[in-house]
Amino acid sequence: MLGKKMKDETSKFNLKAMCIFHKDGKILVSKGFDKVKNEHFYRFLGGGVDFFETGKSAVRREIKEELHSEIENLEIIDVIENLFTFEGIKRHEIVFFYVGDLVNKELYKQNKIHVVEDTHEFDAEWISIDGILQGSLPLYPALDYKTLFSKILVKKIFGKY
């Protein structure tokens, strides 16, 4: 047996792939709201990995669906396990974090990008890395972003992690 079968909607397990896009001390994220916690928050762009799909393929597909852009210079930067509660439902996910560059350079000029998907709409926006590090902009999954952003800076300067 691979694991416990979930009997209802009180818990969820997901495999995710997300990409970090950065420019001028900012990162591109989606804005969300948890009605139960009454909390606005941010999350990296990306989504679920389908069965028999690689994380890299999934993040390329998700970004194409969300932003209508391909990704270049795509590299994995970290993999994390995330346990959290969203809208009263316990969730457990494994997240592949990638860093890359958007092929559609016009997206770097927009402050907000309205995203329309089959089941929902949301806004993606560029937010300050300093605001995240200072704790004024909640970014999920919750983790050590100083270390994660340092890895990206090292990559940018030296070409390796």
Q: Render pLDDT for 99-137 as a digit per residue (tens, 0 to 9).
A: 999 999 999 999 999 998 888 899 999 999 999 999 899
pLDDT mean across residues, the chain: 89
In whole angstroms, what is the distance from residue 76 CA to residue 58 CA?
Answer: 12
In whole angstroms, what is the distance from residue 71 CA to residue 74 CA?
Answer: 6
In whole angstroms, what is the distance from residue 51 CA to residue 67 CA?
Answer: 23
Q: Render pLDDT for 76-105 as a digit per residue (tens, 0 to 9).
A: 999 999 999 999 999 999 999 999 999 999
What domains are there in the chain, each with its CATH number?
11-158 (3.90.79.10)
**Residue matched to tokens 């909607």:** 9
